[in-house]
A and B are shown apart, each in its own frame.
Chain A
Amino acid sequence: MTKQKSVRNYLPVIAFAITLFLFLSVIIIGNILNNERQDFVAEEMQKMYSDFNSMQTLSLIMGDYDDEMVCIAFESKLQELDSYIWTLAEKIDKYRIVTEEFQEDEFYLKQKKTFNENEIFYYLMMRKMNRQCNMSKEPLLFFYQNSFDCKKCDDQSFVLTDINEDDDDLENEVAIFSLDVDLNISAVDMMTKYYELEEYPCLIFSDGTRMCGMMDKFIIERKLCEINPKLMICE
């Protein structure tokens, strides 16, 4: 009886302490994983900056050196970048969701902003190289908003992921740039004004065609093939 009585007295306190310890452990492990995610994204972003720097250097030396050599080097760099740039954008979004704070998380917002700015740089660079090196990379701009204001943006993103995966399996001929219009990036704002975008999701093709609203895979692929029939996805 004495034992039972004392157990009744001290067990809840010990149980509470252990539960609190477990809870804090989960929070700490969660934080460690958050840091790991942030490190991963930061590392990948660093890799992207360094690639962009090389591209910039290549672009600057064009004209002064052998253009053909530069074009070959440039094409190989683009090939490398294409394969992970969409994946990285997707990862940043997914990691934002996993970290729970989503919209408020400063780190991911900052990374996403920098990422978008670099995407524009990459897009412009690609257009330039397409002209100067006669490359047949097909750029596609995807403007989107958050899922509260744009119900179909996530759906459109899924379709573009599918197209990107198809393209990865083939020749990496289509480069998709996803631009978040909620981030108040001046270059993105300028582009939305230039293309007179009012509803989202919206796609801009290389010939300037604007497709706003939800588009399925077949409509997008048809349009890409119309612009560039030599693409592997058109076969």
Chain B
Amino acid sequence: MYLVWFLATFYSVYFFLTIAVYRKDLFEKRKLPRSFRPRVTFLIPAYNEAKSIADSLKSMKKVTYKNIEFIVLNDGSKDDTSKIVRENIKGDDRFSFIDNKENKGKAGVLNQGIKICTGDFVACMDADSVVEPNIVQKVIPYFLDEKTGAVTVSVEVKNPKSFLQKAMAVEFAIGLSLFLKIFSYLKCVFVTPGPFSMYRKSMLNEIGGYDETNITEDHEIAFRVNKSKYNIENCIDARVYTILPRTFKQLYVQRRRWYSGAIQTFMKHRKMMFKKESGFFGVYIPFHYTLIILGLFTFLASIYLSISRFIREILYYQYTGFNFFDHFSLSLDPLMYGRVNLLGTSLVAAAMILMIVGIIVTRRKFRNYNLGLIGFPLLFILYQVYWGSAIWNAINNKKVKWR
């Protein structure tokens, strides 16, 4: 308990300090010099995206950057994706369409796109995501630094409707926006999100593109970028809007893949850890996963204690004829507040403060999240279950598929 508390508090304090130091630079606008107009390629892999790809293509058509090409890569879709793409890109010569009849997997088609594209910089984006018209102008100046290998943006939630989506919108506002920025300062970005990330093409060629055997290719590639001489930056001001799972079942499928992919990636790159050449990344990643594992143990222990206490209470009441309410009173004794309670309360408080600070410093409005603010802490309970399931699968050598 003390160790979990110490690590978690250290983690939170570290983040608060980094936010405090960089608060003025978070939204720093980098200028795009007139002389720097490199060619940019958007790669859009699509598998059964008939419902959402039209919106995505419409947003791409509004992109104002001139020196650009869009390559839509059908990944053997069984629905009307192909037809919808053809209809939407007709007459726009910036678009080309590779209609693969066989399913190669997301990493497979992205590699196919990397081979044929003409851009100096490659933006890989999901077919269910929508971009801002000036996203390229905001992102591309980061590549003026020759050491920048990839740039991530803020991943926002597109029209969050359900309680689950609103809770996840808060998670994304912090995890896939503010945290990505902070991680970029600390040189430990461990994911280049699938909805939109831009890469230096020469770097992609150097590291060999995406790993086609990995189920979280956007996570795995970030490890190899960190291993190379390049950095991953974040442009918090540029936004991509993506669709989130609506149901708990869909969320489970998504997280099972994410977390299983995280384990797969960690095992593949475990030799990077605690190596001098891996820098802070090699220290942060083991720390991050240790915290997750300790958190999971604490969660399991709490579940066990809560259930056994519940059963015990039921037994107690059984001996008194279920005399629940006769002596019920709310007498709060502050002296019953022990050290363990203090530690637990301070962790919850830190998480809430982090959420509030995250929303404020990323210039978001609380009213846009409403119930999501309550739902966000509850997600952590759910994620412990999903992590447990992913670790169980890994122990049992059970393969998790992309879809």
Give residues in A with beta carbon < 8 Å to B.
4, 7-8, 11-12, 14-16, 18-19, 22-23, 26-27, 29-30, 33, 36-37, 40, 94-95, 98-100, 154-155, 158-159, 162, 165-166, 169, 214, 216-218
Contacts and interface: CB of A to CB of B under 8 A. Distances in A.
B326 A166 contact: yes
B370 interface: no
A81 B2 CA distance: 41
Nearest to A219: B319
30 contacts: A4-B187, A8-B187, A12-B14, A14-B17, A15-B10, A15-B13, A15-B17, A22-B9, A23-B5, A23-B9, A26-B342, A26-B346, A27-B339, A29-B342, A33-B337, A36-B335, A98-B337, A98-B338, A100-B338, A100-B339, A154-B312, A155-B315, A155-B319, A158-B319, A159-B316, A159-B319, A162-B327, A166-B327, A169-B327, A216-B319
Contacts of B186: 8
- By size class, the interface of chain B is 35 or more
Given A15-B10, A19-B10, A216-B320, A7 B338 contact: no
A159 B327 CA distance: 13
Nearest to B279: A8
Contacts of A95: 335-336
Interface in B289-325: 312, 315-316, 318-321, 323
Contacts of B9: 19, 22-23
Contacts of B320: 158-159, 162, 216-217
Interface of B: 2, 5-6, 9-10, 13-14, 17-18, 21-22, 185-187, 280, 312, 315-316, 318-321, 323, 326-327, 334-340, 342-343, 346
Given A16-B10, A19-B10, A217-B321, 20 more contacts: A7-B21, A7-B185, A8-B186, A11-B17, A15-B14, A15-B17, A19-B9, A19-B13, A23-B9, A30-B338, A37-B335, A98-B336, A154-B312, A155-B319, A158-B320, A165-B326, A165-B327, A214-B319, A216-B319, A217-B320
B346 A22 contact: yes
B282 to A, nearest CB: 13
Given A217-B321, A218-B321, A8 B335 contact: no
